[in-house]
Structure 1
Amino acid sequence: MRPIEGLTVLVDLDTKKIVQIVDKGKNIPIPNAANTDYRFSAQNSYQRLVNPISIEQPKGPSFTVEDDHLVKWANWEFHLKPDPRAGVIVSRAMVLDPTTGVIRQVMYKGFTSELFVPYMDPTDAWYFKTYMDAGEYGFGLQAMPLDPLNDCPRNAYYMDGVFAAADGTPYIRSNMVCVFESYAGEIGWRHSESPITGMEIREVRPKVTLVVRMAAS
């Protein structure tokens, strides 16, 4: 990507005429084109591929998906759906309290735009920018289909996005979201804060987390 910083054009979409051209980036250099392509196919200096890694679940995943959107995992359950604007929406998240046996409501609705950190730049080229540089266009509309066994491991559950085009025609964005279990890499189960040496640790458990993934352009 080679952005031309500081150059903005105001266009009247009714008359299809340019109303104003503002160039405040004359002293800002344009990035070079040579040797800046990040795609793997263009990286001639690194040709060695790593071997694939497989996480096996002989009994299948521990989570279930009911009615295409209700995810149940361990003592958690939540509603999951793709959204053209926010990308992925997690709603009605609840957890079963092990001490009281009561289901607690944790979150009514949460989505990616809640992570929005404003640029706080009032210039014409930046004031409208939202989260991950995608919100102004629609995070879900920019999503790409996930590649099985590449973006998501075996036993992943895939969810399509059903959206409406500008003229109202429905269309499907396939494999937009995947849900899977993954090792969190946490080894704290084997350690103790007790200063007494030689204490036997009987409980050794791998920490597993539930992952919701979406690939955006």
Structure 2
Amino acid sequence: MRPIEGLTVIVDIDTNQVVEISDNGKNIPIPNSANTDYRLSTQMKTHHKIKPINPMSLEQPKGPSFTVENGHLVKWANWEFHLKPDPRAGVIISRAMIRDPDTGELRNVMYKGMPSELFVPYMDPSDAWYFKTYMDAGEYGFGLQAMPLDPLNDCPRNAYYMDGVFAASDGKPYIRSNMICVFERYAGDIAWRHSECPITDMEVTRFLLLRKCFLYDMSYSNF
């Protein structure tokens, strides 16, 4: 939270000796420590007006309008598509088709799509950053930090949950439960996320503006 920019220390791990100290950030100010703790427990101590939001639920007396076949084929209104969680790309929608109201035939709309758009600016040429070339997939694993979705917090009633099958560091498959939930909502509703790795004691929210349509959510966080 308070990086000392420009200060680099090279240590010989075998001899436990400091080999070199480089300080090229003398003119770069160190961030203040005041008001930098983002955890909800700390914020509640300083801001007494904060009031946590209660869980939300969407009622559908007749049940959802979509169906899921074979665990991944979603059918809603005149739409059909395949849905699955991916440890790298997040949610993948494939073979999206719409049924023509005139002919009754299914027309291909999208073969494969994913909402993941993330850029991490590694390999800055400065001394303090050039060696920080993390291999996220190798060091943190694919999907290892994914968290299961919380019913009535992340997803409303009548949501359909999908598990994800990922590969562990030894190559063996393992199951992450409730990686995706499928549900319907009206435009203007908000989708709540109950937490975010590794911020485990803070309620995180995100807002989605959608038409009344199929909506998915996924507990996916590698960064």
- Give TM-score, length-normalised by structure 2: 0.66
**Uncovered stretches (5+) of structure 2, i.e. residues with no partner:** 12-18, 190-210
Higher relative contact order (CA 8 A, sep 6+): 2
Residue 3 of structure 1, CA deviation: 5.5
Indicate the residue corresponding to 1:72 in structure 2: 75
- Contact residue 145 and residue 173 of structure 1 kept, 8 A: yes
| Distance in 2 separating the partners of 1:68 and 1:127 | 43
- Contact residue 62 and residue 73 of structure 1 kept, 8 A: yes
- Structure 2 counterpart of 1:212, from 204, 213, 216: 216
| Distance in 1 separating the partners of 2:23 and 2:108 | 51
**Secondary structure, in 3 states, of the residue corresponding to 2:219?**
strand
**Secondary structure, in 3 states, of the residue corresponding to 1:216?**
coil
Provide, for residues 39-78 of structure 1, a one-character-per-residue CA deviation record: whole Å limited to 9, x for no partner.
3232211442344433210011111111111111111111
Letter in 2 for 1:85: R
**Uncovered stretches (5+) of structure 1, i.e. residues with no partner:** 12-18, 187-206
Residue 55 to residue 108, structure 1, CA distance change in 2 (3 Å): same
Number of aligned residue pairs:
187
- Contact residue 179 and residue 210 of structure 1 kept, 8 A: yes
**Secondary structure, in 3 states, of the residue corresponding to 2:41?**
helix
**Secondary structure, in 3 states, of the residue corresponding to 1:160?**
strand
Indicate the residue corresponding to 2:65 in structure 1: 62
**Secondary structure, in 3 states, of the residue corresponding to 1:43?**
helix
- Contact residue 176 and residue 215 of structure 1 kept, 8 A: yes
Residue 174 to residue 208, structure 1, CA distance change in 2 (3 Å): same
Residue 90 of structure 1, CA deviation: 1.0
- Structure 2 counterpart of 1:92, from 95, 101, 107: 95
**Secondary structure, in 3 states, of the residue corresponding to 2:177?**
strand
Residue 91 to residue 121, structure 1, CA distance change in 2 (3 Å): same
| Distance in 1 separating the partners of 2:38 and 2:96 | 38
**Secondary structure, in 3 states, of the residue corresponding to 1:41?**
helix
* Percent of aligned positions that are identical: 68
Indicate the residue corresponding to 1:195 in structure 2: none
Indicate the residue corresponding to 2:182 in structure 1: 179
- Contact residue 139 and residue 216 of structure 1 kept, 8 A: no
Letter in 2 for 1:183: Y
Letter in 2 for 1:216: Y
Q: Does 1:38 align with 2:42?
A: no
